[in-house]
Amino acid sequence: MMTNLDPAAAFAPHRARLARIAYRMLGSVAEAEDIVQDSYLRWHQLDRGAVENAGAYLARMVTRLCLDHLKSARVRRETYIGPWLPEPVVAPEADIGEEAENLTLALMMALERLSPLERAAFLLHDVFGMGFDDVSEAIDRDPAACRQLAARARTHVQAAKPRFPVSAEQGRDIAAAFFAAARQGDLGALRGILAADVIVYSDGGGKRTAAGRPVEGLERVLHFFGSLARKPDFATPDILYTGPIDGLPGYITRESEDTLQSMAFEIENGRIKTIYVMRNPDKMRHLPF
């Protein structure tokens, strides 16, 4: 039983972890904050004296709220303009939780292809370390079913993991090389750092100019960035941040018309395999720039 029944004091130690769970479930910082605030209000209304483990109880509550939210979120994403990407998080992994250190933006994209229950089972067990009995209570499925859900999700996630992850230093160097080549329109230099099967996802949400569908293949990607560099108003922007973006090397710039843009790079064998470009202003509001 809980001995400290002050709601704010009992909730505070768990807030950061709950926010990480909600963000990994939803891919949205703003929506995650709303979920955590909702759980806080519900926590105030509970008979907290009957709660034996506040952390586990709150994690279950947040998971259920996220599952409910995903029902409407999935409908909204079906009508989303262009590719949908999670909101960029720029805090170093040490600041957003050691348990999530291996769940990069690329792997979150893999989670998007799972059912909400598969996603919840995998995140709660494999990422946040909950036992299957607690997972069972969180998603209202028996432990055996939770094991199967997590196993299916794990297969998808493992397939999306890079076979040869790069060091932080190499990632920074490749990101810097890409920035210089792309801004100078140096297609030869770009060719040297892009994989043959490179793909670009660009999320403008219908509010900023972005590619309406993924740009796939080396030649198309070269044409894409070459065309941008040839625009009359194209200029080298200010770099506001360089470092991890959801665990991937990248940077954030301020482009023309005061548009914030983040670019994150998935790298394999020393070459850029996937480029994630965020331009939707609604998904950049939480950033301190």
The angle formed by the CA atoms of residues 12, 100 and 152, to the nearest 5 degrees, is: 120
Q: How confident is the model at residue 93 (pLDDT cuts 50, 70, 90)?
A: very low
What is d(CA 260, CA 270) in angstroms, rounded to the nearest whole number?
A: 27
Provide the pLDDT for residue 74: 67
CATH topology of domain 7-160: Butyryl-CoA Dehydrogenase, subunit A; domain 3 (1.20.140)
Q: pLDDT digits over 151-196, tens only? A: 999 998 888 776 777 888 999 999 999 999 998 889 999 999 999 9
Least confident of 5-9, 62-66, 82-86, 119-123: 5-9
Provide the pLDDT for residue 288: 85
- From-to residues of CATH 1.20.140.160 in the chain: 7-160
What is d(CA 24, CA 79) in angstroms, rounded to the nearest whole number?
A: 22
This prediction has a pTM of: 0.84
- From-to residues of CATH 3.10.450.50 in the chain: 168-283
The tokens describing 147, both together, are 């094991």
What is d(CA 59, CA 193) in angstroms, rounded to the nearest whole number?
A: 42
Provide the pLDDT for residue 96: 43
Any idea what DSSP says for residue 114? S
Q: Parallel, antiparallel, or unpaired for β 194-203 and 271-278?
A: parallel
The tokens describing 89, both together, are 């998080």
Residue 41's identity, in one-letter code, is: L
Segment 239-259 shows an average pLDDT of 90
> Is 168-283 assigned to CATH 3.40.50.280?
no
Closest CA to 120 of 150, 159, 87: 150
Residue 1 has pLDDT above 60, yes or no: no
